[in-house]
């Protein structure tokens, strides 16, 4: 299980730790990997002595860490966009996040990831447990997440922005929707 981001209270890491604890309670082997640093690093090291603390990573090294994960849990309730969500999706990881900010725009619940209702900690933990219990199903979500991330290429983004401008000029409201540039068949 991978967590990428600032290790700080505003990232709602207590929910992540609760989800990981539920996974460990099943008796199956799980590993928690933190990529990032911040004011909670020392506390997390003490509370999770078996976790991997990779520190701050960039570029290909960060991509390699994403590629090494099986699940991406993003419990933050304070994001404006959260680049880690599309990064994890582009890496083919199934993402569990709250139905909020970037996650709510990028994840189609049950199709390319999972969304828990905003701030519903119990549902987040249950969904994390379900993901870790069904790695085959999680892998299918990851494949669909990768395809969904294709919508985030620059050409697609420019087309969406142009659509908003055209609608504004025409006096019509426009709400851009991120759609994959390529849809996966059967995913």
Burial zone of 120 (CB within 10 Å; 0-12 exposed, 13-18 middle, 19+ buried): middle
Residue pair 91/63 in contact (Cβ under 8 Å)? The answer is yes
With the CA atoms of 90, 92, 94 and 99 taken in that order, what torsion angle do they form, in degrees rounded to the nearest 10?
A: 10
- Output 96 or 178, whichever has higher pLDDT: 96
Report the alpha-carbon distance of residue 83 to residue 21 in Å, rounded.
26
Tens digit of each residue's pLDDT (9 = 90 or more) over 15-74? 999 999 999 999 999 999 999 999 999 999 999 999 999 999 999 999 999 999 999 999
Tokens of 64: 């390699």
pLDDT surpasses 80 at 175? no
**Highest CATH level, class, for 2-150:** alpha beta
How far, rounded to the nearest angstrom, does the alpha carbon of residue 44 sit from its chain's CA centroid? 20
Q: Domains of the chain: which residue ranges? A: 2-150
Q: Nearest 5 degrees, angle CA 100-CA 113-CA 144? A: 130
The SS3 call for residue 6 is coil
Task: Supply φ then ψ for residue 53, to 5 degrees.
Answer: -115, 100
Q: What is the pTM of this model?
A: 0.85
pLDDT at 158: 87
Answer whether residue 176 shows pLDDT above 90: no
């Amino acid at each position: 299980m991978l967590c990428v981001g600032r290790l700080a209270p505003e990232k709602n890491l207590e929910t992540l730790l609760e989800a990981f604890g539920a996974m460990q309670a099943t008796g199956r082997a799980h590993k928690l990997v933190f990529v990032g640093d911040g004011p909670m690093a020392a506390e997390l090291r003490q509370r999770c002595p078996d976790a991997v603390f990779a520190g701050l990573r960039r570029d290909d090294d960060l991509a390699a860490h994403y590629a090494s994960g099986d699940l991406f849990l993003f419990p933050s309730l304070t994001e404006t966009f959260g680049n880690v969500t599309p990064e994890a999706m582009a890496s083919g990881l199934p993402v569990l996040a709250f139905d909020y900010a970037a996650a709510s725009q990028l994840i189609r619940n049950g199709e390319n990831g999972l969304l828990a209702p905003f701030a519903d900690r119990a549902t987040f933990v249950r969904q994390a447990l379900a993901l870790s219990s069904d790695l085959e199903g999680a892998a299918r979500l990851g494949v669909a997440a990768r395809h969904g991330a294709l919508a985030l290429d620059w050409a697609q983004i420019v087309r969406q922005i142009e659509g908003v401008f055209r609608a504004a000029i025409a006096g019509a409201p426009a709400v851009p929707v991120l759609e994959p540039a390529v849809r996966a068949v059967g995913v």
